[in-house]
Structure 1
Amino acid sequence: MSLGDEHGSSGGYADTGQTRTRLPESDPYGGARRGGRSSSRSLVTVVGVVVLLIAAIAFANRGDDSPAGGSTSDKPATSATAATGEKPVQPKSGGIPTGFAHSEAGAQSAAANYSVALVSADILKPANRTAIVKQVFVTDQQATLEDRLNAAYSKEFLSNIGLDPNGNPTKGQTYVSRTVPIGTKATSYSDTAATLEVWCTGLYGTAGANSANPVTSDWFTMTLQLRWTDNDWKVDSFSQKDGPTPVPGDNKASSADEMAKAVEEYGGFTYAR
């Protein structure tokens, strides 16, 4: 759930396609579908595939024959989305990873994980909100932000989305707010501060019989200003905007019961670069 949709506004914080192609049953140009290949051509094709597989296995299993200290300039460069190999995080604290690497990759990992926490069902619960704020934000911003979040997620707001004052849905229903980072980008970086953009998709709504707020999806981008403090990356401020949004697919919507079961059975991820 993007903060701009259901969570409303809380000042500067909580303003804070791909189309499948199906093969036609007949030639799209009016002719009949082509028949199968001849048996001789099929045999040649099978033999060729087997030879290629054997060669691929042999190549994968061979050792690194390059001399120690040899040049690696002929090796392909890692892509922008490849893992860096750095240990991403320390054990979780309150369900949120900590101990991010003091690097640009570490800052991107922190931003991705913090986006998940900031747009979650837990932050709607007063009992969990304080702990999330203390874990995610720099010390000198915690009090101000918690006040803004408390005002944004008021009893009236929670009631409007079908939750009680403690952020819980009615019996038999499951409230969903789950964020999935698609990618991250550092727009500025130094050893003490970084600005990151996190492109996200997510689910939000209430799953269950007779829900007036069914689970739907959205796409949004969060911008987080991070600060290096107490040997970790923490959020100094954040904002959010809609999109980029792909063309909707043609998937059939699941039932409310199927959605509730999926949310209960499938856990979330720790996101790292």
Structure 2
Amino acid sequence: MPGLMESVARRLIIIIVATGTVSVIGGLVIGRYVIPDKGASPDTASVAPAPSTTPTPSPAAIAPTPTLVPKPDSAEGKPADSASTSQIPGLPTRINEFGIPIGYPRTEAGAVSACANYDAITGTLRNREPSRIRMMYDSIALPESSKRISDTIIKNDKDSAKAYGVPSIQSPDFSLIGRGIGYAVRSYNDNEANVTIWGTVAFGIYGNSDPNLAPRQGWGTDFCQIVWHEGDWKLKDAGDGPAEPDITQRAAESFKEFLLVGAGT
């Protein structure tokens, strides 16, 4: 365990303490592309969520979820389960070659932790380079989902570059930073989970005098659908949700907070 914790401490790992569910699901995705809106309030939504076969529960239908505590990691580094004395629910067991935490327990806390970390990869421009993003999704998504999701993001990024008048979003003047802040569990069972990640994204051209092109920020959600596959949570679908609520709105209070472990590098 010391080796694992040292690797975790070298970067920000999002670990979710699933002490309850929420009644409101809001809006942002870091996978959406951004188009100048000629002065309208920031709303960068462009990729509609795929239809879900699991309906979103109404506020009255959502019951509290007990705290989930995973088992300590095995010597083989396999995901832990919920029968544990560990004090960190949802803890991943290792980090893959792309710096993505993997190896989650088969619990609700593990599912939310997986969605949060899988969502975070698109909040950094370096990770959105086409060849890299394909390999990253190959490492965390189902084989039939990896190409579809990465192709969508690559196309959106090309559209963004064209709209902002830069060769690509990898241009030194282009800004894109996304950060996940909270989460809502839409549905969960031992085989599949649907989670909404709420956060903020900033985008634009540094130093541009046009307020429609200069960096701006907005709040919203990403949706994440994962399934239990070959001993870990794998991404089945992901995309943009509604571009709300702002952190100043009462609805923002309904998203659960993350427990953050370690420090970024």
In the superposition, the TM-score normalised over structure 2's length comes to 0.56
Contact 1:187/1:195, CA 8 A, preserved across alignment = yes
* Aligned sequence identity (%): 21
1:183 Cα offset (Å): 1.5
Which SS does the other structure have where 2:242 is aligned? strand
Identify which of structures 1 and 2 has the higher relative contact order when contacts are C-alpha pairs closer than 8 Å and 6+ apart.
2
Superposed CA RMSD in Å reads 3.4
Where structure 2 has 5 or more consecutive residues not aligned to the other structure, the ranges are 1-28, 35-43, 51-65, 69-85, 250-262
Which residue does 2:3 correspond to in 1?
Answer: none
User: After superposition, what is the alpha-carbon deviation per residue over 1:192-249, rounded to whole angstroms, capped at 9, x for unaligned?
Assistant: 111111111232223347687322221111221111112221211123111111339x
User: After superposition, what is the alpha-carbon deviation per residue over 1:92-127, rounded to whole angstroms, capped at 9, x for unaligned?
Assistant: 431221112221101111111122113432354223
Count of aligned pairs between the two proteins: 181
- 1:168 equivalent to 2:170? Answer yes
Compared CA separation, residues 192 and 246, structure 1 to 2 (3 A)? same
Compared CA separation, residues 124 and 8, structure 1 to 2 (3 A)? farther
Opposite residue 158 of structure 1, the aligned amino acid is A
Opposite residue 128 of structure 1, the aligned amino acid is R
**Alpha-carbon separation, structure 2, partners of 1:160 and 1:169:** 13
Where structure 1 has 5 or more consecutive residues not aligned to the other structure, the ranges are 14-76, 249-267
- 1:193 equivalent to 2:195? Answer no
Matches for 1:75-224 after TM superposition, within 5 Å:
85-86=88-89, 88-89=91-92, 90-154=94-158, 157-165=160-168, 167-170=169-172, 173=173, 175-208=174-207, 213-224=213-224
1:88 Cα offset (Å): 1.4
1:10 Cα offset (Å): 5.0
Which SS does the other structure have where 2:104 is aligned? coil
Q: Point out the more displaced range, 99-108 or 130-139.
A: 130-139
Which residue does 1:233 correspond to in 2?
Answer: 233
